[in-house]
Structure 1
Amino acid sequence: MNGRIHIYRVFDIGKDVNLEGVQRHFEMSSSAQRFRLNRSSKAMIINQPPLSLVIENSKYSALGHPLDLEVTAKIWHFGAVSLTMSFILPKGLTWERLIALGNFLENDSNLHDLAKKRVEQIVTGLGRPVSTVNWETYEDYACYFFQSLEGCEKNAMEVFNRYDVFRLILSENNETLSEQIKKTILDSTFQYSQDDLAVIDWNSALIIEPSGSTDIIDVIEFSLCQLLEMRYYDDLLDERLTYLYSSLEKKRFSIFQNHYSRLSREAAQIYLDISDTVESVENTMKVVGDFYLAKIFRAASQRLRFKDWKDSVDQKLSNLAQVSRLFVGEANEKRNQLLEIIIIVLIAIEVVPLFFK
C-alpha cells in the first residue's frame, strides 16, 4: 500500500487574523503560502484562503515503527489553526497492523502534546499570548489516504471485499462490528470514478485517490474548522447568556443607575460580534460547480453534525437578541419613571408655594 495517515488537531486562537500581515512575518522564517485547492476548475471558491505553513519534517516512533512525520498548519482568518501531522505508511505494513497503528496515533497523548506545542509556537509568532488559545474545545480527526492499494487498482470498491475498512474507520482493534454499523458507514461512501473512493465518518475517513490530489481531505479539514468554531461560539454564548441572566435576576437597580443600558449595549455588541464571525465562517468556502466536492462537503458536515451545532448557535443568538431588547425596555422604563418623578417634583415646586400664600 502507498499512502499516509493524516492526524488533525484544530484549535480556536481567539480574534480574527490579518493573514496578509501574518504571511509577511512567517515568510521571513519558514515556508508559507496562501492555500489553494488543487483543481483548476475554480469549482470551490475560498474567501480569504488560509495561510499554509510547513512546520517540520522529522521521525516519530509508533508501535516500533520509525515513521516519517511532516507537520503542516493552516491559519484561518476567523481565528482558527488546523494542524496536520502526516505519517508516511512504512513498506510491508499489513492491514491489521495499520488498524493498530491508526488506533495508537489517534489516541497518542504525546502526539497531542506535540500538536499543542506547535500551535503555541504559531500563536507566539502571531504576537498573541498563549492564553488566547482555547485548549479545552478542539477538534481531532484521522484520515487514511491511499494513492494505491493492492487489489483495488481498477475498482476502488473492492477495498470492502479485501480489507476490513469498518474496523479501521472506527478504530476498533478487536470488536466484531454489527451489520447496522457497517451500513451506516457504507451510506457515507462516494465515488467519482471507478478507481477512487471516499468514505466519510464522524471521527475518521478513508480516501483512495490515485492522482494524489488532496482536494477531498482539504474539504474535510475545512469542515472540521467550521465545526470547531460553532462549538466554540456555542460555549461562548452559554457563558454570556448565563452572565446576562444572572445580572437580570440578582441585581436590583435604582432609577438613577444606567446598568440596564450598559448591559443592553454589551448584549448587542456580543450579538453583532458573534453573528459576524459565524457568517464569516459559513461563507469562507463555497461550491459553485463541482457536484462531487459539494457532495463530499455536505456529507462531511452532516457526519460531523454541523447543522445541530449551527442551529444551537442560531437559537442562542436569538435568545441574546431578546435579552438585549429586554434590557432596552427596562432601561427605557427606568428613564420614563425618572422623567415622571422630575415632572412631579417640578409641579410640586410650582404648586406648593401657592398653598403658603
Structure 2
Amino acid sequence: MSAPQVYTEEIFDGSIYFFYAFDVGDDIDFEQVRTAPGLSTSKANLSKYFKNYHRPLQINSSELPNECISVKVHSFGALSLTYRVPFSSTLAHVQARLDHLEDQYNEYALAHAQIVFKKIRSFITKPKFYHTRSSYVTIQVEPVPQIDAVTFKERYGGIIASSVRFEVETLSEFQKNEILDTAIGYYRGDLIVIDTDAAFVYDDEYQEILDFFEFANVQQLELQYFDRVLDQQLNSIYEGKTQGVPFRAYLPFVGTLLKGPVDELSKLKVDISVITERLESSIKIAGEPYFYELYSILVDKLDLKGWRDSIDKKLAIVKDASSVLQKKIDSVREDLLTTLIIILIFIEVLVGLLRL
C-alpha cells in the first residue's frame, strides 16, 4: 500500500492581514479631527452590509508604511489598523513564519497607533493610550483553478488548522477536524475557516469579508473594555467607595441638582448600553444567509455573546447598586425634611408660648 501523497511544495499567492484595535478614550470629535492641521482624513469605504451611522473616519498619514493599508478612527473612542503582507510561497512556509510575523506586527501596530493617537489626542474625551487592545489575523490565498475547495481542504487541512492556531507542529486529528468542521464557502471554489484568533480564506473575492473580520475585532475590543470598566466599578461598590456621597446630596431640593455616584452609575449604564447596542445593530445582513452564517461563526469564535452576557449581568448589578444608593439618599432626604418640619413646628409652638 503506497503512502498518501503530501503536498508541501506547491506555491500559492496571497496575503496575510493583521487587524488591530485600540481603545483610546471615551469619545472622538470627528468634526475637529477633519479640520485639524496636518491631518488628512476621508470617509472610510465599508461594505454595503454596514450602516452609515457607524461609518468611521479614515486617517491618511505619510508617516505610516505602505503595508498599513487602513487606519480608522471610531467615534466611540477606538482606533483600528489593518496591515497587508503579500506572499508567494508554500503554505508550509507561511505557517512557519506566521508566529514571528504576528510578533513583529504587534510592535508595528503599537508604534503606529501611538503616532495617530498623538495627532488626535486633543480631540478625544478622557484620552489614554491605551485602555484595551485586540487583534485578529486572516490568511488569504488566491484560488488555483484546478484545485477546488474540497480538494484544497483535503490536501492542506492540517496546515490550515495549525496556521489558525499559530502552531508549527501538526495538530491532532480531533483538533484539526474541530477547526475545519465550521468551514464555509459560497461558491464551489471558496473556503473560509474561522477560529478564535485567526481565519483562513481560500477565495479571490474577499474584500467584503475583511470588513467583517475588522468589525468583529473592534466589537470584541469594546466589549472587553466595557467588561473591564464594569469590573472596576463593581470593585468600587464592593469596597464601599461609592458610599462617599457629599452631605449636600442629601439636602431636599438642593441635592437633586447635584451630580453624585448614582448619576455616574446611571450614565455609565446608559453609555455602555447605547454603544454595545449600536455596534450590534451596525450590520444589516437580513436576507443574506451566507454573510449571516459567516458573522454568526465569528460571533461564536470570538465569544462576543459571552462578553455581552457578562456585561449584561454586571450592568444588572450596577443597576441594583444604583437603586439601593438612591433609596438610601431618598430616605435620608425624607428624614431631613421630616426633622425640618418638626423643628419649624417646635419653633412656632415656642414663639406662641413666649407671646403668652
TM-score class, shorter-chain normalisation, is: 0.7 to 0.9
Equivalent pair of 1:43/1:289 in contact (CA under 8 Å): no
- Pair 1:336–1:173, CA change in 2 (3 A): same
- Pair 1:120–1:290, CA change in 2 (3 A): same
Structure 1 SS opposite 2:287: coil
- Asked if 1:170 is matched to 2:165, the reply is yes
Q: For 1:285-321, what per-residue CA distance to the aligned partner results, in whole angstroms no more than 9, with x for missing partners?
A: 2213321111111110110000000011111112222
Shift of residue 190, structure 1, vs aligned partner: 0.3
Cα RMSD, aligned residues only: 3.0
- Asked if 1:220 is matched to 2:218, the reply is no
Shift of residue 86, structure 1, vs aligned partner: 1.0
Question: Distance in 2 between the 1:136 and 1:255 partners?
Answer: 34
Structure 2 SS opposite 1:141: strand
* Aligned partner (choices 309, 327, 330) of residue 329 of structure 1: 327
Equivalent pair of 1:50/1:77 in contact (CA under 8 Å): yes
In structure 1, the gaps of 5 or more residues are 60-67
* Aligned partner (choices 277, 292, 295) of residue 294 of structure 1: 292
Residue 11 of structure 1 aligns with which residue?
22
Residue 180 of structure 1 aligns with which residue?
174
Question: Distance in 2 between the 1:346 and 1:25 partners?
Answer: 60
Which residues in structure 2 correspond to 1:137-286 (within 5 Å)?
A: 137-149=132-144, 153-163=146-156, 164-174=159-169, 176-211=170-205, 213-247=206-240, 257=250, 262-286=260-284
Question: Distance in 1 between the 2:60 and 2:202 partners?
Answer: 24
Shift of residue 325, structure 1, vs aligned partner: 1.4
Residue 119 of structure 2 aligns with which residue?
125
Equivalent pair of 1:154/1:194 in contact (CA under 8 Å): no
- Pair 1:169–1:57, CA change in 2 (3 A): farther
Q: For 1:39-67, what per-residue CA distance to the aligned partner results, in whole angstroms no more than 9, with x for missing partners?
A: xxx455443322234556988xxxxxxxx
Equivalent pair of 2:33/2:123 in contact (CA under 8 Å): no
- Pair 1:190–1:24, CA change in 2 (3 A): farther
Shift of residue 229, structure 1, vs aligned partner: 0.4
Equivalent pair of 2:136/2:213 in contact (CA under 8 Å): no
Which residues in structure 2 correspond to 1:57-68 (within 5 Å)?
A: none
Question: Distance in 2 between the 1:46 and 1:285 partners?
Answer: 10
Residue 58 of structure 2 aligns with which residue?
52
Residue 71 of structure 2 aligns with which residue?
73
Q: For 1:159-183, what per-residue CA distance to the aligned partner results, in whole angstroms no more than 9, with x for missing partners?
A: 2222221111111112x42222122
Shift of residue 204, structure 1, vs aligned partner: 0.3
TM-score computed with the length of structure 2 as normaliser: 0.83
Question: Distance in 2 between the 1:331 and 1:58 partners?
Answer: 53
Question: Distance in 2 between the 1:343 and 1:70 partners?
Answer: 70
Shift of residue 20, structure 1, vs aligned partner: 5.3
- Pair 1:248–1:103, CA change in 2 (3 A): closer
Question: Distance in 2 between the 1:57 and 1:296 partners?
Answer: 35
Count of residue pairs brought into register by the alignment: 336
Equivalent pair of 1:199/1:206 in contact (CA under 8 Å): yes
In structure 2, the gaps of 5 or more residues are 1-11
Equivalent pair of 2:265/2:318 in contact (CA under 8 Å): yes
Structure having the larger proportion of residues in strand: 1
- Pair 1:100–1:74, CA change in 2 (3 A): same
- Pair 1:317–1:173, CA change in 2 (3 A): same
Equivalent pair of 2:23/2:78 in contact (CA under 8 Å): yes
Structure 2 SS opposite 1:171: coil
Q: For 1:318-356, what per-residue CA distance to the aligned partner results, in whole angstroms no more than 9, with x for missing partners?
A: 222222211211111001111222233233334457788
Structure 1 SS opposite 2:260: helix
- Asked if 1:340 is matched to 2:338, the reply is yes
- Asked if 1:35 is matched to 2:45, the reply is yes
**Amino acid of the structure 1 residue aligned with 2:45:** F
